[in-house]
């Protein structure tokens, strides 16, 4: 199964992707993790990304997509994968679709965790106090939610128009949300048969 997991920052994508990986036996791919690993390993793409980051700029979609393509060539992705936090905008969604079509691994499902902004702010404030993560600072979270609404939220419409999107209530206990995600995947796979 090939899945994209969408949701606002702090919606629980990483937590749920880890659980889905274990349950489904497929690879969990976070583009942020890919980028950090490539830079640390000093790969050719990692060196290109590092030069861009060292200049204080954002890594281009072209570099991220190339890293993703390299990752999708690894044997553990052949049974399927979960993309966590990617694509983040319409251009990335279109480029991803073209890449997956070219390598013969089209998406099976796009799951979007719906969590109200107020709940996200509460969640991240708790995590900020407990862990001190800079990206969980309440003001930072509010800015990230605005960027998400402008750039990433339209990606859900993109996948909805292609019949791939299932929206899932992301409020509640971690296990409840996971059960909803699994039910959504089961519903999609039986509908596809």
**Hey, where are the domains in the chain?**
2-29+81-192
Strand ranges for the chain from DSSP E:
2-7, 27-30, 81-84, 109-114, 165-169
Residue 67's pLDDT is 92
Tokens of 62: 């072209």
The closest of 9, 98, 110 to 62, measured between CA atoms, is 98
Low-confidence residues of the chain: pLDDT under 50: none
Residues pairing with 193 in the sheet: none
**SS3 of residue 113 by DSSP:** strand
Place of tokens 């990206």: 135
Q: Which helix (H) or strand (E) holds 144?
A: helix 138-147
Residue 22, judged by CB atoms within 10 A of its CB (0-12, 13-18, 19+), counts as exposed
DSSP state of 148: I
Q: What letter would DSSP give residue 150?
A: I
Residue 92, φ and ψ in degrees, nearest 5: -65, -40
Q: How far is it, in rounded angstroms, from Cα 8 to Cα 145?
A: 7
Which of the residues are catalytic? 13, 88, 127, 133, 144
What pLDDT shows up at residue 147? 85
What are φ and ψ of residue 81, in 5° steps? -160, 160
This prediction has a pTM of 0.89
CATH number of 2-29+81-192, picked from 3.40.50.300, 3.40.630.10, 3.20.20.70, 3.40.1640.10: 3.40.50.300
pLDDT at 192: 61
The pLDDT of residue 127 is: 85
Query: Which residues lie across from 113 on neighbouring strands?
Result: 7, 168
Q: Residues 6 or more apart from 26 whose CB is under 8 A from it?
A: 1, 3, 20, 77, 79, 80, 81, 82
């Amino acid at each position: 199964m090939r899945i994209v997991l969408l949701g606002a920052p702090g919606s629980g994508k990483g937590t749920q992707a880890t659980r889905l990986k274990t349950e489904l036996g497929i690879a969990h791919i976070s583009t942020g993790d890919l980028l950090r690993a490539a830079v640390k390993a000093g790969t050719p793409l990692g060196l290109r990304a590092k030069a861009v980051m060292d200049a204080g700029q954002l890594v281009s979609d072209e570099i991220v997509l190339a890293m993703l393509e390299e990752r999708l060539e690894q044997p553990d992705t052949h049974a399927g994968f979960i993309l966590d936090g990617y694509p983040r905008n319409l251009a990335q969604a279109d480029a991803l679709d073209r890449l997956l079509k070219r390598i013969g691994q089209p998406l099976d499902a796009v799951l979007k965790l719906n969590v109200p902004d107020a709940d996200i702010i509460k969640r991240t404030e708790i995590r900020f106090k407990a862990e001190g993560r800079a990206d969980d600072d309440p003001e930072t979270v509010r800015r990230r939610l605005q960027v998400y609404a402008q750039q990433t939220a339209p990606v859900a419409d993109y996948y909805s128009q292609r019949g791939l999107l299932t929206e899932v209530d992301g409020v509640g206990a971690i296990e409840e949300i996971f059960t909803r995600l699994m039910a959504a995947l089961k519903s999609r796979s039986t509908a596809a048969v």
